[in-house]
Amino acid sequence: MQTDMKSSAFQQFAEAADTIVNPEVKKWKDGGGKVMGYFCTAMPTEMITAAGFLPFRMRATGSTETELSDSFFSSLNCSFPRHAFNMALKGEYDFIDGLVIFNSCDHIRRVYDHWIRQIGTPFVKILSLPRKSEQPQVEWFRDELSTLREAMHEHFGVEITDDRLREAIALHNKSRRMLRDMYELRKSDSPPITGAEMLAVTVAGTTMPQERYNQLLGELSDDIRERSGQSGFRARLMVIGGELDNPEYIKVIEGQGGLVVTDAVCFGSRMIWKDVEEDADDPLRALAQYYIIDRPACARMYTEYPRRLDFIKNLIKDFNVDGVIFQRLTFCELWGFEQYSLTNDFKELDVPLLCLDREYTMSGVGQLRTRVQAFLETMGR
């Protein structure tokens, strides 16, 4: 991604978002560090950091085919796990030392079943993630995390002590705060960072050691404060939905003249909007409380639709959003039903909504351009 920023921080983020094994991962591995892969925003990455591992969120960046995974997934399955598993079958995920999967959705949970049979990752664990956000679910999830802690201890011999957890929580909270500060700057009339750039920054955070990430975020923050803001755009847009890890997608939207000023996606604001309690007596419970109740929930948490809608409405107001783009990976039922509810509820809002289905890879760019163009035009922009 081209940039006019002074430091190299953004370039490093862009490279991390555009590759799987970025230089930081390589350096980490070369230094004998271990990498723990995970599939979903619900993973308390603080635990992985506390274990002294690098948390790496699974993506399928760069994948173009599903020739190998087609034997395991059908054409009615979401293209994200199909591409990610294809990469695993090709050995492109051989660098991870372990993998944690949740029953996040019907497609991802079957990745676990195939992974343990087909891929030689030495440590693979599936955790049970509740579907609702109440106190008994916090307790359940705390116990799940405890079993993960024990399993990691048994397999890798690592101690995830409470003190280390508190340190990791503070470290991850620091990233969240720095990212929120950047989002804050986007509220201005001329935001100093585009939506595509911002997504590259948040995605990069899921692929590198947290301390290094925070250091680079500091540099980037200085850069963008000195940068002149974006101007001349046709509308302030917000992108919402589930899995979206490709800044190019946002770039195409922004290429039509709209500026994405905020989002509610898995790799974006939903990861960073709240902090985990730092001084809790029981940091595992604090993590469970955060991941089950406090953070903005995604569509799999069935009780949370009203809260999700409020989250979107508040972002619209705070970021002065003119139009919202909902994107969904085809065959995702969780976000499919969400689309129905949002379409109904947006009728009562003064902000237009555009719903787009997409594939994980950047196919159908021409159609995306046309749809966004038309959307901007219906908005009178």
Instruction: Name the residue among 371, 364, 326 with its Cα closest to residue 345.
Output: 326
Asked whether position 108 contacts ligand SF4 by CB under 6 A, the answer is: yes
Distance CA 148, CA 368 (A): 41
On whether the CB atoms of residues 80 and 60 are closer than 8 A, the answer is yes
Asked whether position 114 contacts other proteins by CB under 8 A, the answer is: yes
CA dist 171 → 174, 204, 261 (Å) = 5, 16, 26
Report helix, strand or coil for 171: helix
Phi, psi for 48 (deg, rounded to 5) = -70, -45
On whether the CB atoms of residues 207 and 55 are closer than 8 A, the answer is no
- For tokens 């079943």, what's the residue? 113
Asked whether position 83 contacts ligand SF4 by CB under 6 A, the answer is: no
Report helix, strand or coil for 58: coil
Q: Please list the residues that pair with 327 across neighbouring strands.
A: 241, 356
Convert residues 59-98 into a mask of x (bound to other proteins by CB under 8 A) and - (unbound).
Answer: ------------xxxx-xxx--x-----------------
Nearer to ligand SF4, 58 or 235 (CB): 58
Instruction: Name the residue among 262, 260, 258 with its Cα closest to residue 234.
Output: 258
* Residue 98 Cβ vs ligand SF4, minimum distance, rounded to whole Å: 18
Asked whether position 338 contacts other proteins by CB under 8 A, the answer is: yes
Residues 24-43 that bind ligand SF4 (CB under 6 A): 40-42
Asked whether position 122 contacts other proteins by CB under 8 A, the answer is: no
Question: How many CA atoms does the CB half-sphere of 9 hold within 13 Å?
Answer: 21
Residues 14-53 that bind other proteins (CB under 8 A): none
Asked whether position 310 contacts other proteins by CB under 8 A, the answer is: no
In the numeric block, which tokens belong to residue 20? 């799987």
Asked whether position 81 contacts ligand SF4 by CB under 6 A, the answer is: yes
From other proteins, ligand SF4, none, which one binds at residue 266 (CB under 5 to 8 Å depending on kind)?
A: ligand SF4
Judged by CB under 8 A, which of 5, 17, 99, 105 binds other proteins? 105
From other proteins, ligand SF4, none, which one binds at residue 339 (CB under 5 to 8 Å depending on kind)?
A: other proteins
Asked whether position 325 contacts ligand SF4 by CB under 6 A, the answer is: no
Nearer to other proteins, 124 or 185 (CB): 124
Neighbours of 4 (CB within 10 A): 8
CA dist 361 → 79, 112, 218, 223 (Å) = 8, 22, 31, 31
Asked whether position 103 contacts other proteins by CB under 8 A, the answer is: yes
* Options 100-108, 148-156, 185-193, 205-213: segment touching ligand SF4 (CB under 6 A): 100-108
Asked whether position 367 contacts other proteins by CB under 8 A, the answer is: no
Distance CA 317, CA 238 (A): 11
Neighbours of 76 (CB within 10 A): 8
Asked whether position 302 contacts other proteins by CB under 8 A, the answer is: yes
Asked whether position 84 contacts ligand SF4 by CB under 6 A, the answer is: no
Q: How many helices (H) and strands (E) would you count in the chain? A: 15, 8
Asked whether position 357 contacts other proteins by CB under 8 A, the answer is: yes
In the numeric block, which tokens belong to residue 46? 């603080």
* Options 40-48, 240-248, 273-281, 326-334: segment touching other proteins (CB under 8 A): 326-334
| Residues that bind other proteins in the complex, under the rule CB under 8 A | 71-74, 76-78, 81, 103, 105-107, 109-110, 112-114, 126-132, 136-137, 140, 143, 299-300, 302-306, 328, 330-341, 343-345, 357
Write out the residues near ligand SF4 by the rule CB under 6 A.
40-42, 78, 80-81, 104-105, 107-108, 242-243, 266, 298-300, 329, 332, 334-335
